[in-house]
Amino acid sequence: MASPAIREIRRLNNAIDAKEVSDVAYKFNSASSGNTDVRIPAEGGNTVLIRSSDMTSLECDWQTLLAILAERKAKPSEDNAKDKPKAKVVQLLHKKRDSYFSYKDIVDSPLCRLLPNGHVVLLDEAARLLHALDREFLQLAQQEQAHDFYAEPFWEQEDLQGFGYQASDKNLCGVNHLGSDDKQFWQIAVCDNIWKSLSNSCIEEGTCYTSKGTCCRHEGRQEFLLERMKSFSMREVVCAGKQDSVMEFRNRSMHFVNKLCERFELDAYYEEANDPFFLESDSEQDKSLNIQVPEIVKFELRLNIYNDRSLSAASFNVHGNFFAQKLDIQHAEGKADVWTSCSAFGIERWVWAILSQHGVDPKKWPKGILALLQGY
């Protein structure tokens, strides 16, 4: 949030109970625009300090807060589920448990430290879990005989069209340094630089790469703990080849993750998420391309956490021939059409879900997770 230019103390029609303060603040942070900060006294009450960078955001987010409070008054013990769109659950890996550790349980534990700016620091076993999980995701890369790949974590402006973005895209975070006029953006995903490196080249069937990088994404919401971050760590394993082999790669990736969830005793489910961001361009050049994509572009793995919420912790995408068409990636066999796929893992979200599901006492974690930490 930009430095608040507007500060107001406002009165609520109904007082907030002290026991509700944390939950109300949590819901506001998740639902607000990200341009407004609300300070609620720890003891509760009917006055709040609201700060924002502009009056439009302040009024909009004030209404968001009032809606949250009205919903709690109408149904204080449950979410208003009838207003939520039904997710298309494809496969339930493990049923939901009876209870979860709350975000307050996590940030108050020795494994975390909550900074004044709302960012979270991971310590000891929680920090080691980040590295250990990435090592486990690398097992998929080894299974697929993937080439290791590294590139600087930014995109040039001339890259954007080939990746399916425009410079005006609100999800992009610009790279700014001492007023430089260079038009660069932090990468939103790791795989795009891999496809860029293959531009104007021929690939062998079933070519795979793996890379880990820091990604930045602005989603128009306030960042909150490790649920939604502006910068985060992503491990990707990608594949390029004929349609059938790319689809089989995605199936193998999902099977690999099924086994992980079993070993880590994580309750999770898959959800269809057909949001082909790379097909949003309206340029005449893109319309002239013969873009082909599968019926289901993306599956998301969602890990359940507190407050009847879940986190998208991994995604399994098949881009069809989009990147091959845009970047002129050819198949070594000549006329064969090149399809691409990526399996992506948001590492911090895996850690957060494990803490929510299994708690903050590492001695009580499942054997599969404890075995993962050996050597760290």
pLDDT higher than 90, residue 24 = no
Residues spanned by the domain of 330: 89-373
CA distance 291 to 319: 9
Please, which residues have CB within 8 angstroms of residue 362's CB and are 6 or more apart in sequence?
111, 125, 370, 373
For the residues 79-104, what does the mean pLDDT come to? 65
Q: Are residues 56 and 115 in the same domain?
A: no
pLDDT in tens, 179-211: 556 688 989 999 999 999 999 999 999 999 999
Q: Which two tokens stand for residue 362?
A: 């590492």
Give the per-residue pLDDT at 356: 96
Q: Are residues 194 and 312 in the same domain?
A: yes
Binning pLDDT at 50, 70 and 90, where does residue 117 land? confident
* Cβ-contact 175, 185 below 8 angstroms: yes
Give the per-residue pLDDT at 179: 57
Counted domains in the chain: 2
pLDDT in tens, 58-71: 888 888 888 888 87
CA distance 136 to 122: 19
CA distance 300 to 184: 29
* Cβ-contact 148, 186 below 8 angstroms: no
pLDDT higher than 50, residue 76 = no
Please, which residues have CB within 8 angstroms of residue 2's CB and are 6 or more apart in sequence?
35, 53
Q: Are residues 265 and 368 in the same domain?
A: yes
Query: Is residue 43 a part of any domain in this protein?
Result: yes
Report the mean per-residue pLDDT for the chain: 84
pLDDT higher than 80, residue 19 = no
Binning pLDDT at 50, 70 and 90, where does residue 5 land? low
* Cβ-contact 193, 151 below 8 angstroms: yes
Phi-psi region of 37 (alpha: psi -120 to 50; beta: other; left: phi over 0): beta
Please, which residues have CB within 8 angstroms of residue 75's CB and are 6 or more apart in sequence?
none
Query: Is residue 145 a part of any domain in this protein?
Result: yes
Q: Are residues 163 and 191 in the same domain?
A: yes
Please, which residues have CB within 8 angstroms of residue 150's CB and are 6 or more apart in sequence?
211
Q: Which of 308-317, 332-341, 342-351 has the lowest mean pLDDT?
A: 332-341
Binning pLDDT at 50, 70 and 90, where does residue 83 land? very low
pTM of whole model > 0.85?
no
Q: Which of 103-112, 197-206, 279-288, 325-334 has the lowest mean pLDDT?
A: 279-288
Give the per-residue pLDDT at 80: 37
pLDDT higher than 90, residue 342 = yes
Of 28, 43, 78, the one marking the end of a domain is: 78
Q: For the packed helices 124-143 and 243-264, what is the interaxial angle rounded to 10 degrees?
A: 150
Give the per-residue pLDDT at 116: 77
Binning pLDDT at 50, 70 and 90, where does residue 220 land? low
Element containing residue 243 per DSSP (H, E): helix 243-264
Give the per-residue pLDDT at 199: 94
Give the per-residue pLDDT at 54: 84
CA distance 270 to 287: 32
Q: Are residues 27 and 161 in the same domain?
A: no
Query: Is residue 83 a part of any domain in this protein?
Result: no
Q: Which of 59-73, 165-179, 205-219 has the lowest mean pLDDT?
A: 165-179
Query: Is residue 106 a part of any domain in this protein?
Result: yes
Nearest to 21 by CA among 4, 55, 44, 37: 44
* Cβ-contact 325, 291 below 8 angstroms: yes
- Highest averaged pLDDT of the listed ranges 22-31, 216-225, 322-331: 322-331
Q: Are residues 238 and 332 in the same domain?
A: yes
Residue 150 has φ and ψ, to the nearest 5°, of -140, 140
Of 55, 78, 101, the one marking the end of a domain is: 78
Residue 168: give its domain's CATH number: 3.30.930.10
Of 24, 47, 78, the one marking the end of a domain is: 78
Give the per-residue pLDDT at 85: 41
Query: Is residue 1 a part of any domain in this protein?
Result: no
Q: Are residues 30 and 123 in the same domain?
A: no
Q: Are residues 37 and 130 in the same domain?
A: no
Binning pLDDT at 50, 70 and 90, where does residue 253 land? very high
Give the per-residue pLDDT at 132: 96
Query: Is residue 342 a part of any domain in this protein?
Result: yes
Q: Are residues 284 and 231 in the same domain?
A: yes
Nearest to 345 by CA among 376, 310, 316, 367: 316
Give the per-residue pLDDT at 275: 58
Distances, alpha carbon 279 to alpha carbons 142, 199, 321, in Å: 31, 18, 11
Q: Are residues 128 and 66 in the same domain?
A: no
Query: Is residue 154 a part of any domain in this protein?
Result: yes
Per the document, the length of the chain is: 376
* Cβ-contact 341, 238 below 8 angstroms: yes
* Cβ-contact 9, 49 below 8 angstroms: yes
pLDDT in tens, 271-304: 987 655 555 544 545 555 678 888 889 999 999 9
Q: Are residues 50 and 101 in the same domain?
A: no
CA distance 144 to 138: 10
Q: Are residues 62 and 95 in the same domain?
A: no
Residue 35: give its domain's CATH number: 3.30.70
Residue 286 has φ and ψ, to the nearest 5°, of -65, -35
What is the SS3 assignment for 53? coil
Query: Is residue 84 a part of any domain in this protein?
Result: no
